[in-house]
Structure 1
Amino acid sequence: MYPSSKQTELISFSRVAAGSTVIDVYPGDGDWTRLFSDIVGPEGRVHSFVPAEVAHFKNDPVGRIQTLAKEPGRENVQAVSADLVALPGAAGPADVLWLHLFYHDLHTELMRARGGTAPDFNRAVYGRLKPGGFYVIVDHAAAAGTGTNDAQSLHRIDPTSVRAEVEAAGFVLDAESTMLANTYDSHSVKVFDPSVKGETDRFAYRFVKPKG
């Protein structure tokens, strides 16, 4: 996780609030799911969504989130796993979809294994959010002009490519932030390299689904 000041800033940027319905995509250890659960409270809902494409990982991502949902006070958390574009929809439209360090994976062979693509996913998000709902993306930046070329090899993506793809689905850019920028990142090494691990240059976009 981030230092508390950055974490607070990211939460404010996300627009998650008391009573919100949030979809946390590929929640990992569940840190963001727990934070959102505390924020939305008993009137809200957090769908902790593990795409089926990664459900087989050795760290048992589905089991971990199912365990999290059973923690005391987590009655507002639902553990969900399905194909990437089959976003949870039983509780009605969502207020926020949170995608942390995962968008680039939409352009990897693993996530495309079941036929889903980034445009498919973005359209699914558009359909799942209520008018005025927010699609929030934080990811590792690739060098300008590289597009999606480094998604598989370096786990990075050019922010301008992300913006173009998401806007093509009908979203409007509502805000962007440089709070996680790192000008010392060369963008030339994999994000797991010890020289940049945990300190990569990252971008944050908040898109909105237009009303009406």
Structure 2
Amino acid sequence: MNRLIRISIMSAGLALPLAPATAQHEGHADHAAHMAADPIATATASPSRTPANVARDPYRHPVETLRFFGVTPQQTVVEYAPSGGWYTEILAPLLRDKGSLIALQPSGRYLDRYKGFLATRPDAYDKVKLVAFPEDAATITAGSVDTVLTFRNVHNMVMSGTEASTFKTFYNVLKPGGILGIVDHRLPEDRDAALEKNSGYLKTSTVRRIAEAAGFEYVGSSAINANPKDSADWPKGVWTLPPTLSHGDMDKAKYQAIGESDRMTLKFRKPL
């Protein structure tokens, strides 16, 4: 009798791991189904992405940001000033089969850098169309683009005085009803506007004014990329914070604890 009890207990013990293993298998299946149903999440999980870029996802929220802007795999998308290719690593696989990605890259050293980036993965980036800005912008057919995206670049336009002409290009290439999605470092509205010329931060009202002057209508904003820890008053502007850390090792732990900048996420539309 004791021997039978021992056998029963052993059998039950052997059977116990099966339940969590089955649940784990079902969890993987659910995850796979979710990824298949969410092409942006699938593209964000692309093996072509570099680990250093993946590590910044908690600050840049690519899945939520692209969803907010309404990007889909069937669209023609222009990314203005992709530079190091952070978002290209996601947009290229997302748009590769059914859509089109146009990289509108300002001329200069970053143009060569971006060419080098594309060459690192010809299997992943072979369908990205690189267009030098401004000299070749006219090669993009007017009214042919579904979405224009630019990440942390409007402050550079403001500092160089090129915002009006650049936004005019955005407006021209977009279809009626097309979307302009902008992410940039946010300057509190009560700060001196002169800071927009050297800090890397911009007021939301400034970006709205630039976009609306170009003909865009404001759709809305999202707090996806907000960071309340960022006071936007750093000695070397936004570059004080990660990922640049312009002070080097000085107060590095302090700035890393704050994280990347507080960012506005704004959505505009070209009127129908």
Pair 1:192 & 2:244 matched: no
| Alpha-carbon distance in structure 1 between the residues aligned to 2:198 and 2:66 | 30
Whichever structure has more helix as a proportion of its residues is 2
Give the direction of change, closer, same or farther, for the CA distance of 1:13–1:87 in structure 2 (3 Å limit).
Answer: farther
- Using the TM superposition, give the Cα deviation of residue 151 of structure 1 relative to its aligned residue in structure 2, in angstroms: 3.1
Change (3 A) 1:85 1:154: farther
Asked if 1:143 is matched to 2:196, the reply is no
Instruction: Determine whether 1:32 maps to 2:84.
Output: no
SS at match of 2:126: coil
The CA deviation at 1:86 is: 3.0
Deviations 1:50-108 (A, max 9, x none): 111xx235x9424324425x621433311221328936505961111111000111112
> What aligned pairs does 1:67-86 form with structure 2 within 5 A after superposition?
67=119, 71-83=122-134, 86=137
1:64 maps onto 2:109 in alignment: no
Q: 45, 48, 60: which one pairs with 2:100?
A: 45
Gaps of 5+ in 1: none
Q: Deviations over 1:115-152 (max 9, x none)?
A: xx212221221111001111000000112144752233
* Corresponding residue of 1:210: 271
**Mapping for residues 1-212 of structure 1, pairs under 5 Å:** 1-3=56-58, 6-52=61-107, 55-57=108-110, 60-67=112-119, 71-83=122-134, 86=137, 88-90=139-141, 93-109=144-160, 112=161, 117-146=162-191, 149-189=194-234, 190-194=237-241, 195=255, 198-211=259-272
Q: 2:131 touches 2:137 (CA, 8 Å); kept in 1? A: no
Q: More displaced, 96-105 or 81-90?
A: 81-90
User: In the alignment, is the contact (CA less than 8 A) between 2:177 and 2:270 conserved in 1?
Assistant: yes
Higher Cα radius of gyration: 2
Higher relative contact order (CA 8 A, sep 6+): 1
Identity %: 25
Between 128-137 and 91-100, report the one with greater CA deviation. 91-100
TM-score normalised by length of structure 1: 0.83
Structure 2 counterpart of 1:98, one-letter code: L
Deviates more, 1:84-93 or 1:145-154: 84-93
Q: For structure 2, which runs of at least 5 residues remain unmatched after alignment?
A: 1-55, 242-254
Structure with the largest fraction of strand? 1
Q: Which amino acid aligns with 2:100?
A: R
Does the 8 Å contact 1:48/1:65 carry over to 2?
no
Q: Do the aligned partners of residues 4 and 184 (structure 1) sit closer, same or farther apart at CA in structure 2, a change above 3 Å counting?
A: closer
Q: Residue type of the partner of 2:198?
A: S
Structure 1's 176 and 84: CA in aligned 2 closer, same or farther, altered over 3 A?
farther
Distance verdict in 2 for CA 1:5–1:34, change over 3 Å: closer
8 A contact 2:184–2:264 mirrored in 1:
yes
Cα offset, 1:184, TM superposition: 2.2
SS in 2 for 1:151: helix
Q: Tell me if structure 2 keeps the 8 A contact 1:171–1:209.
A: yes
